[in-house]
Amino acid sequence: MPDTIPIRSNDVLLVVDVQNDFCPGGRLPLPGGDAVVPVINSLAARFEHVVLTQDWHPAGHESFASSHPGRRPYDTIEVAYGTQVLWPDHCVQETRGAELRSDLRVPHAALILRKGFHRGIDSYSAFYENDRATPTGLRGYLRERGLDRIFIAGLAYDFCVRYSAEDAAREGFTALVIADACRAIDLEGSAAAARASLASVGVASVAGGDVGTRSG
């Protein structure tokens, strides 16, 4: 891969879940979660096409530990679609925690895609709910717009960024993760597992400084 990657007209920046609850002071804070914002702002200014995702859970969501008496955050349970991590209540619809960061400067984003709003299904990927059968519609949107190379940034690297990038690759898109524009939860080695899994499906890891200006 060249030292600097030119940004083409068919490229899109996918900014995943840069929301208050995933940053310091939130309900599910990632260490340094707020530090991705200036990196993403700088990146977004270079892209013509930007899509944002937003975790958007109803109260009492199945993935919340509080919905399962006797369970604690980060326990796991088995559900119809497999193993589910139980999370602290977070990104509940119409709460401040669910809002995108106010210092995120992406006024030209053409789409804000909400996910995780089905009460009984969690949604890490921007492409599919966790049952791996319910699409979000992002694949069709990108295909209709002629966008086929996806640069991915955001929170959390080892969950929503990872699964979004893997699904992008499986759907035939070229996917690149901008490592310094992400932060991980790192739950029992999940960050290292994400790096290995992304590499195994051909998703490249790049630095924000390696992503150049628009090539026209």
Task: Give the CATH number for residue 188.
Answer: 3.40.50.850
178's tokens: 């901008």
- List 15's β-bridge partners, or say none: 52, 153
**Structural domain of 102:** 5-58+90-214
Per the domain annotation, does 156 fall within a domain?
A: yes
What pTM, to 2 d.p., does this model score? 0.96
170's tokens: 């499986």
Total domains in the fold of the chain: 1
Phi first, then psi: give them for residue 91, nearest 5 degrees.
Answer: 50, 45
Measured CA to CA, the distance from residue 29 to residue 20 in angstroms comes to: 8
pLDDT at 215: 61
Per the domain annotation, does 63 fall within a domain?
A: no
Per the domain annotation, does 94 fall within a domain?
A: yes
Measured CA to CA, the distance from residue 166 to residue 148 in angstroms comes to: 14
Phi first, then psi: give them for residue 192, nearest 5 degrees.
Answer: -65, -40
pLDDT at 8: 96
pLDDT at 212: 85
Q: Which of 23, 91, 160, 182 is catalytic?
A: 160
Exposed, middle or buried: residue 9 (CB in 10 Å: 0-12, 13-18, 19+)?
exposed
**Residue that the structure tokens 């979000």 belong to:** 136
Vertex 189, ends 28 and 99: CA angle to 5°? Answer: 20
Q: Which of 11, 17, 89, 122 is catalytic?
A: 17
pLDDT at 214: 66
Per the domain annotation, does 136 fall within a domain?
A: yes
Q: What is the pLDDT along the chain (216 residues), one digit of tens a residue?
A: 457 899 999 999 999 999 999 999 999 999 999 999 999 999 999 999 999 999 999 999 999 999 999 999 999 999 999 999 999 999 999 999 999 999 999 999 999 999 999 999 999 999 999 999 999 999 999 999 999 999 999 999 999 999 999 999 999 999 999 999 999 999 999 999 999 999 999 999 999 999 987 665
Per the domain annotation, does 82 fall within a domain?
A: no
Per the domain annotation, does 142 fall within a domain?
A: yes
pLDDT at 177: 98
Alpha-carbon distances, residue 7 vs 42, 45, 79, 110 (angstroms): 14, 11, 41, 17
Question: Helices 162-170 and 190-200 sit at what angle, rounded to 10 degrees?
Answer: 10
Q: Which of 34, 89, 91, 115 is catalytic?
A: 115
pLDDT at 3: 74
CB atoms within 10 A of CB 117: 15
Verify whether residue 115 is a known catalytic residue.
yes
Measured CA to CA, the distance from residue 101 to residue 36 in angstroms comes to: 11
- Residues with Cβ within 8 Å of 197's Cβ and at least 6 positions away in sequence, in order, are 162, 166
Per the domain annotation, does 48 fall within a domain?
A: yes
Per the domain annotation, does 71 fall within a domain?
A: no
Verify whether residue 17 is a known catalytic residue.
yes
Cis peptide before 156 (omega within 30 of 0): yes
